[in-house]
Amino acid sequence: DTAVSQTPKYLVTQMGNDKSIKCEQNLGHDTMYWYKQDSKKFLKIMFSYNNKELIINETVPNRFSPKSPDKAHLNLHINSLELGDSAVYFCASSQDFLGHEQFFGPGTRLTVL
């Protein structure tokens, strides 16, 4: 059983396109996160949702819009993709907002051409 799953695993697209990445967790956790890992493997938090409510929004361009239809899902929609958006995007979840053990998904490698 996959605890945190993401689709797609790979995404190759042209500049200017709009794309979405989906994330689902079956752990019953209340809190979900999106992270970006750049080419130098630096992992940086983008968003955090607790019970479908946005609680952390780092300085991310507003082309990135997270959506949480329920607490088991946190999707990431990206408008007008740019070359600099190329990275691996990880979804994660934790039991609650103060849960210090985060479970990460396998990542989505986004390549913008």
Q: Is 90 in the site for another protein (CB under 8 A)?
A: yes
Tokens at 58, concatenated: 């780092």
Minimum distance between the CB of residue 67 and another protein, rounded to whole angstroms? 21
**Interface with another protein includes 72 (CB under 8 A)?**
no
Please give the Cα distance from 29 to 48 (Å, whole number).
13
Interacting residue with another protein among 40, 59, 69, 70 (CB under 8 A): 40
| Residue found by looking up tokens 């968003």 in the block | 47
Name the residue with tokens 């899902």: 73
Angle 21-27-32 from CA coordinates, rounded to 5°: 45
With contacts defined by CB under 8 A, name the span among 16-24, 61-69, 76-84, 89-97 that binds another protein.
89-97
* Residues of the shown chain interacting with another protein in the complex, contacts defined by CB under 8 A: 4, 40-45, 56, 58, 90, 92, 97-98, 100-107
